[in-house]
């Protein structure tokens, strides 16, 4: 009998209806680079080395976002709410809608659980 990964408890506080079986098994079903798997794993388990995380290890780190230099660099900010990143996601969403997923709406959960987005993009570009 396995134990529940702490990440599932954490993310379930913010996001509902997460299909954890898919989150854990999809990376093995598709040919993804190790880097994509690594980033996804670190995001899900909340130890991606953003500055706010690194500050726990080295207290004198400037935690300002590497892109905008206005907000603390957290995973949420860096991968979703930063004005620069958000512009990228708007373009990705527009591409997905224009190419074939007319009802596609990119949510924060798609970014955190990278695999869902990657798999949709693989489907899009393999047609």
**Residue 43 or residue 82: which is nearer to Zn ion going by CB?**
82
74-78's contacts with Cβ under 8 Å and 24+ in sequence apart are: 74/50, 75/43, 75/46, 75/48, 75/50, 75/112, 76/108, 77/50, 78/50
**Residue 81 or residue 93: which is nearer to Zn ion going by CB?**
81
Round to whole Å and give the CA distance between 14 and 1: 26
Is 115 near Zn ion (CB under 5 A)?
no
Is 52 near Zn ion (CB under 5 A)?
no
**Residue 65 or residue 106: which is nearer to Zn ion going by CB?**
65
Record the tokens describing residue 6, joined without a space. Answer: 């702490």
Is 50 near Zn ion (CB under 5 A)?
no
Residues lying near Zn ion in the complex (CB under 5 A) are found at 65, 67-68, 82
């Amino acid at each position: 009998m396995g134990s529940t990964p702490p990440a599932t408890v954490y993310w379930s506080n913010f996001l509902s209806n997460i299909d954890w079986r898919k989150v854990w098994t999809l990376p093995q079903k598709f040919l993804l680079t190790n880097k994509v798997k690594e980033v996804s794993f670190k995001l899900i388990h909340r130890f991606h080395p953003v500055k706010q995380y690194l500050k726990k290890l080295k207290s004198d780190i400037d935690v300002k976002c590497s892109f905008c230099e206005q907000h603390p660099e957290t995973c949420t900010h860096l991968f979703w709410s930063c004005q620069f990143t958000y512009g990228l996601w708007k373009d990705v969403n527009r591409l997905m809608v224009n190419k074939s997923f007319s009802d596609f709406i990119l949510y924060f959960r798609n970014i955190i659980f990278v695999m869902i987005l990657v798999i949709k993009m693989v489907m899009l570009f393999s047609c």
